[in-house]
Structure 1
Amino acid sequence: MRRWRLVLGGAGEAEGTGHELSGQDAAMDRTLAAVYGAGGGATGTGAAAGGARGAGLGGSAPRVARWLGDIRTYFPSSVVQVMQRDAIERLGLAAMLVEPEMLEAVEPDVHLVGTLLSLNQALPETSRETARAVVRKVVAELERRLATRTRATLTGALDRSARISRPRHRDVDWNATIRANLRNYLPEHRTVVPERLVGYGRAAQAVKKDVILAIDQSGSMASSVVYASVFGAVLASLRSLDTRLVVFDTSVVDLTDELDDPVDVLFGTQLGGGTDINRALAYCQTKITRPGETILVLISDLFEGGIRDEMLRRVAAMKAAGVQCVALLALSDEGAPAYDRAHAAALAELGVPAFACTPDHFPEVMAAAIRKDPLPVPDPA
């Protein structure tokens, strides 16, 4: 009855099966309805009010990207390939993905890039170069908007990450100097005598930092993958940072060698499928050689499909060794993300802040991590 109910669709007993769907079965039914539901066509909006079954992924690129990730979660790869082809044909996506002129005419954005990357393996050969050109255009725009400010912010943080006791005047940290000399306060003069100066080192004196970006490839993280790839390339361009980029689902892929070109990084990803954070962290652990100078940024919604307790033990072990760990629930402008609240709370108890971060806020987060200052966690409101 369950199988018949999934085949027939519709709302519960209306189809005569007497079988109501819930949980994962209901989610699976929605992914099927998007392509095979009654009333097909690209203008459909999914299940209508009252539970009527209707096809369509709407006009929303984020919704398409999420659907592409969902089908990899619920169906084997052989079925996924069939559903992708059917979606391209039945929902009008073919016009966008097959015709280079259409891809050149649409306004490219992060969501469109996520969709193209999700369909990477299903793209016709005639569309691959055009799709790559669209991705490159979006990446170039993101680099133009984000790179200069990121480099300036992080270079300043790296310059100031080494404290010295005999700074030049322009390098004096006056707040730290005043705190260090409060005992030398002279009430009659209402001033502090700076017996000891505290200052910032310059770039040549700063200790090189190791940064590991571990990025969840699940379908819901498509925008985060795009932004993280761009930031990875920017971080890799800074000599004082040794940057490693790792992407994962149920397997782990190290794309560090591709960091000179974020487009190559993006086409090396495979959006969708399961999530094994524990396995990804296990790999990252093997690449940590200087825990006290390492920053690990986990970008994931924390819906763990691996071994939860072991994942938390790994994080605790890295923290105890001196690694700075940060969990970004999303790296995008899409508003409040869906995430596993229990896992986020468990990480917070270990001293690992877990929060969503916009691309514009990311440089400040990284700068604070480099300086080992408290992270500027955005207000949840």
Structure 2
Amino acid sequence: MVSPSPGPAGERLRRWRLVLGGGEADSGLCALGGRDAAMDGTLEALYGSGSGKSGTRRDSGNRSAGLGGSVPRVARWLGDIRTYFPKSVVQVMQRDAIERLDLSSLLLQPEMLEAVEADVHLVGTLLSLDKAMPEATKEAARAVVRKVVEDLEKRLAARTRATLTGALDRSARTSRPRHRDIDWDRTIRANLKNYLPEHRTVVPERLVGHGRAAQGVKKDVVLCIDQSGSMAASVVFASVFGAVLASMRSIATRLVVFDTAVVDLTDQLDDPVDVLFGTQLGGGTDINRALAYCQSRIIRPADTVVVLISDLYEGGIRDEMLKRVAAMKASGVQFVALLALSDEGAPAYDREHAAALAALGVPAFACTPDLFPDVMAAAMERRPIPVPDACS
């Protein structure tokens, strides 16, 4: 067994050795030393053959590896992977460690939370552990959640406000404006067919005007969020968007979460962290019951957008759910069904229910958070909602 030689061939051997791990790979490829050996150790602890819920791995050379159940050992491992891998890889490895090595219980200890790299998936795990979390850990957990929420707000808030403000302004245009509210540029464009060459002028048959500035609410938005365990990332993003929408005076936002029960978290929208800790991930799903509650709170159907965020695995009454959606649509409500609101790939969802909603004229698709403002803008302007390439 030799050290990898310099050059492209040696680099290929080195990479294959790191991919394949120890054991038989040791004799067939090359030896690792220094930083590479330490990196290999962090990978072996998580992905070595035989690693699993026990967190321990033994190979043909009787070397032991793994994370075990020791908080100091896991904390050191979390520090090591941040040393050797970029942030995006660290987050994947953390997620794999929680799932493969059953480390969820260790996240109930403050020193562990200080060592982890915070991301949306970690927030979902912490929320699912909330009821089991000791008081000594809750403040550390809230700090982790708040960091992720603040990062998401920086990423999403400015564009969301700009996009939706523009949509509200456009939807407020009127065809019977007062003289001082006429949008002359749009009026001229709309009447170019009426140009009279002999008079070198346009005869405006239709006036296009700016909506008069209103201090009141222009649109009502209801976010109805499925809090079953599979929707964890969507719950996090939707809570952040709910807080951003609630900060806009021209939009009245209601946020409702549900499993088999329905909880209205609207009064906590000023702090998305409070919203997230008000959820309870897991449990069953009763979409019909949740929509019944949302329907009872709609007072201006023609100015209301309802966004159902759910994988549509309905545990309630399917036919009643569809009748309720149809009734809301008939009353003038703009209804959108998002199968997921996350940065991940295509989700698992009930295709039969998605097809049934589509037959009612309700778009049902998964969408990335970056495209959510465009979806909302289309709904507010009451124009067809396209399914972007990044949605499925």
The one-character-per-residue Cα deviations of 1:203-257 (angstroms, maximum 9, x if unpaired) are: 4288621110000001110000000001101111111111100000001000011
Match of 1:141 among 151, 158, 161: 151
- SS at the partner of 2:255? strand
**How many Å separate the matches in 1 of 2:56 and 2:236?**
27
**How many Å separate the matches in 2 of 1:301 and 1:189?**
61
Match of 1:93 among 89, 97, 104: 104
Q: Is the 8 A contact 1:355 1:378 kept in 2?
A: no
The alignment status of 1:223 with 2:233, answered yes or no, reads: yes
Structure 1 match to 2:95? 61
**How many Å separate the matches in 1 of 2:358 and 2:96?**
29
Aligned amino acid, residue 353 of structure 1: P
Structure 2 match to 1:303? 313
TM-score of the pair, normalised by structure 2: 0.71
Structure 1 match to 2:53? 40
Aligned residues: 308
Structure 2 match to 1:52? none
Structure 1 match to 2:357? 347
Match of 1:277 among 282, 287, 301: 287
Structure 2 match to 1:10? none
Q: Is the 8 A contact 2:217 2:249 kept in 1?
A: no
- SS at the partner of 1:360? helix
- SS at the partner of 1:140? helix
Alignment of structure 1 residues 361-380 onto 2, 5 Å: 361-379=371-389
Q: Is the 8 A contact 1:301 1:330 kept in 2?
A: yes
Aligned amino acid, residue 141 of structure 1: D
RMSD: 3.0
Q: Is the 8 A contact 2:309 2:338 kept in 1?
A: yes
The one-character-per-residue Cα deviations of 1:270-309 (angstroms, maximum 9, x if unpaired) are: 0011100000001111101111111100000001011000
TM-score of the pair, normalised by structure 1: 0.73
Gap change, CA 1:191 and 1:276, over 3 Å in 2: farther
**Greater relative contact order structure (CA < 8 Å, 6+ sep):** 1
Q: Is the 8 A contact 1:218 1:271 kept in 2?
A: yes
Structure 2 match to 1:12? none
Percent pairwise identity: 74
**How many Å separate the matches in 1 of 2:200 and 2:260?**
63
**How many Å separate the matches in 2 of 1:356 and 1:173?**
37
Alignment of structure 1 residues 1-381 onto 2, 5 Å: 40-42=53-55, 59=93, 61=95, 91-98=102-109, 100-164=110-174, 165-166=176-177, 171-172=183-184, 174=186, 178-179=189-190, 181=191, 183-184=193-194, 193-204=203-214, 208-379=218-389
Gap change, CA 1:289 and 1:355, over 3 Å in 2: same
Aligned amino acid, residue 172 of structure 2: A
Task: List gaps (5 residues or longer) in structure 2.
Answer: 1-49, 58-68, 70-91
**How many Å separate the matches in 2 of 1:328 and 1:200?**
32
- Structure 1 outlier segments of 4+, above 6 Å: 167-170, 187-192
**How many Å separate the matches in 2 of 1:43 and 1:91?**
12
Gap change, CA 1:306 and 1:374, over 3 Å in 2: same
**How many Å separate the matches in 1 of 2:332 and 2:111?**
52
CA positional deviation for 1:191 = 9.4
**How many Å separate the matches in 2 of 1:105 and 1:205?**
47
**How many Å separate the matches in 2 of 1:92 and 1:227?**
24
**How many Å separate the matches in 1 of 2:279 and 2:115?**
25
CA positional deviation for 1:189 = 10
Structure 1 match to 2:66? none
**How many Å separate the matches in 2 of 1:203 and 1:302?**
39
Task: List gaps (5 residues or longer) in structure 1.
Answer: 1-36, 45-55, 68-86
Q: Is the 8 A contact 1:217 1:272 kept in 2?
A: yes
Aligned amino acid, residue 265 of structure 1: V
